[in-house]
Chain A
């Protein structure tokens, strides 16, 4: 059963995926039971179902086909409302408003075109005093945008009738988001930067932690969070590097793809949704939170999933970045040390999942093992646009052999399973590969000319040698023997003729 409130879009289904993922699910679980919740905009049905478990949920969707498909699921405790945000009346008041999809997909072509601030005001009006707002804001200058080959200001999706992109009024920084919400009477109780994509974050870190926290480990976590989201996807440049570098260099919050704000219409602690310093969704549905220990160190605790995650957050830097840095610095001894240590300690764990601290190699996450880990790194090194100590070797499989040797192995490395499927497909690297190929082609042509000159010299030498041989083979003894042979043959032929 759907309530049509006006402004609905009868023929349009949302083209981009709804807000989803284990971290959003984990956060909404904090909301108390028995409350009234408005879910504004497209959210994954599983998320809605989890919310509705012990709460009274109303879902607002502008797309009629999407509203119908959600209603068809007949989730208990869920009311589906279809239409434009501006059509919600003052009478519709909720204890919590969930807008994890942001404020962009709440208006239809029919109603007033609310900008970001106006949308937030409209959402606020639906909150009861003391109510909680969970709002995600996409960062138009986030890593996901910086690597996107698409042009956001010329988007072709059916809902891009105003493709404002970064010309819009949404805040451009986490602290400004908090300030703007505060100014609207929605003081922020929790704030986190999100990776790898606004719609499906697997890593949330508070801006405070991104300033003063364990930046190396967080950079590694950011790269690890970004990697699976970009498998085989076309990008401008490698998002793993950009995400890790921004965190490591202290501008992680500024370049994160999105920010999540937990705001309240007034302070009412019993409804608060706590945001820990960092929340990580790992493989296999595990969720871990990072907290500060009393001694100043950082702890990881499995909220959900295997207890192996419990303990101090592994110290050190991401192995992949350390390897690249040693390769770029042509530091062969360091590179060999890292490769040897890695292949001895964790040979089947991807370099993007290993932290190295001195001689200690620790697994960062519980991603599946990869027997081709070394060949994968060779592929990155050969095709990712990096200088390395073996510039004469351009084929990834040959470079993998060199790396295996440098790692102290005497057996051939396991060949790469499928590079196209597992690594981002970066256009900047394509440019570099094109430049390298042009150079190789020019070199090959020059080499062909070089060899022709060499060949001419050798042929001249051979010609001289043949003349010498002919001259020496024309001596008296040789000529006498040759004449004798001719006479003997003639005599034999005469005898044969005489017989016949």
Chain B
């Protein structure tokens, strides 16, 4: 199906969870939601083959997709949650420290307008501990932007999400989870997928600072997000409330067992002799 199923190694993660070859995931009969959004799970511009199901993260997204004339939606939860539930922290004794900060980015071809300097000043004034800036790959490759952030902290990139099934980093989400587990806080200037992942992985989330609008962005949507999820906004929202919301948005409680997921995605059923895994 659509190459977006391979973004961030999502298909790889699910294949591995299902006991299949994570390096070469079978074709999925439908479309995976590959990021958190406030539309039908797929987002604008996804070339959608009619009559094919979409696999969304949460029941709330499914309801919204239904209302947006996308009735063939099935909730499977975020692939990140599958990793979170099945991957042990490899250094649990190491204390969590500092903040991992995700400056809002666009995707390839989108340009963010805003003042990086002012944002960095606000971040350093707010954050109590050391800061790790996690840049999107195209910003990470931009020497100028990277140097700007390097002055105020450590700068990392989780990897390349892949495009047209090329250069996909199947360990993208694993890298991200490992980083999140080392930090006490997760923050961004926009409520985004990374904040939800961070809150689910045990970081205290925060959303503050110049939202840095994209060129031609629908600003009412950004305002709606702030109105709809106030519990995740601010420099220090209540972590427990925020975590509950984040987990709900990622589809906590809705994860399918490997056998169920195989049947849903149109993958071969467990054959004789294959080990049965326990549902998350």
Known: A389-B74, A401-B269, A447-B51. A333 touches B260 (CB 8 A): no
Given the complex, which residues of A lie within 8 Å of B81, measured CB to CB? none
CB-CB contacts below 8 Å: A331-360 with B: 332-333, 336
Distance of A411 Cα from B260 Cα, bound (Å):
11
- Contact size range, B: 20 to 34
A409 within 8 A of B: yes
Tell me how far the C-beta of A471 lies from the nearest C-beta in chain B, rounded to whole angstroms: 22
Contact partner, A398, options B30, B75, B263, Cβ 8 Å: B263
Q: Are B264 and A443 neighbours in the complex by a CB distance under 8 Å?
A: no
B4 within 8 A of A: no
B262 within 8 A of A: yes
Contact partner, A392, options B29, B259, B270, Cβ 8 Å: B29
Known: A333-B253, A333-B254, A392-B30. A408 touches B52 (CB 8 A): no
Q: Are A392 and B263 neighbours in the complex by a CB distance under 8 Å?
A: no
A157 within 8 A of B: no
A404 within 8 A of B: yes
Q: Are B260 and A402 neighbours in the complex by a CB distance under 8 Å?
A: yes
B244 within 8 A of A: no
A451 within 8 A of B: yes
Known: A390-B74, A391-B71, A392-B29. A405 touches B52 (CB 8 A): no
Tell me how far the C-beta of B206 lies from the nearest C-beta in chain A, rounded to whole angstroms: 30
- When C-beta atoms are compared, the residue in chain A nearest to B55 turns out to be A392
Tell me how far the C-beta of A388 lies from the nearest C-beta in chain B, rounded to whole angstroms: 9
Given the complex, which residues of A lie within 8 Å of B269, measured CB to CB? 401, 412
CB-CB contacts below 8 Å: A372-403 with B: 389-393, 398, 401-402
CB-CB contacts below 8 Å: B32-83 with A: 47, 49-53, 59, 62, 71-75
Counting chain B CB atoms within 10 Å of each CB, the highest count among A401, A405, A444 belongs to: A405
Distance of A405 Cα from B52 Cα, bound (Å):
21
Given the complex, which residues of B lie within 8 Å of A402, measured CB to CB? 260, 263-264
Tell me how far the C-beta of B55 lies from the nearest C-beta in chain A, rounded to whole angstroms: 9
Distance of A209 Cα from B161 Cα, bound (Å):
64
Tell me how far the C-beta of B136 lies from the nearest C-beta in chain A, rounded to whole angstroms: 27
A472 within 8 A of B: no
Interface of B is mostly: loop
Q: Are B30 and A405 neighbours in the complex by a CB distance under 8 Å?
A: no
Distance of A208 Cα from B220 Cα, bound (Å):
59
CB-CB contacts below 8 Å: B248-266 with A: 253-254, 256-264
Tell me how far the C-beta of A144 lies from the nearest C-beta in chain B, rounded to whole angstroms: 34
B279 within 8 A of A: yes
6 contacts between A and B (CB under 8 A): A336-B279, A391-B71, A392-B29, A408-B279, A410-B270, A447-B49
Which residues of A are in contact with B by a Cβ distance under 8 Å? 330, 332-333, 336, 389-393, 398, 401-402, 404-406, 408-412, 439-440, 442-444, 446-447, 450-451, 454
Which residues of B are in contact with A by a Cβ distance under 8 Å? 29-30, 47, 49-53, 59, 62, 71-75, 253-254, 256-264, 269-270, 274, 276, 279
Beyond the given A332-B59, A391-B74, A443-B51, please list 18 additional residue pairs across the A-B interface where CB-CB is below 8 A.
Answer: A332-B254, A336-B279, A389-B75, A390-B264, A391-B71, A391-B73, A392-B30, A392-B53, A392-B72, A393-B263, A405-B261, A405-B262, A406-B256, A406-B257, A442-B50, A446-B50, A450-B49, A450-B50
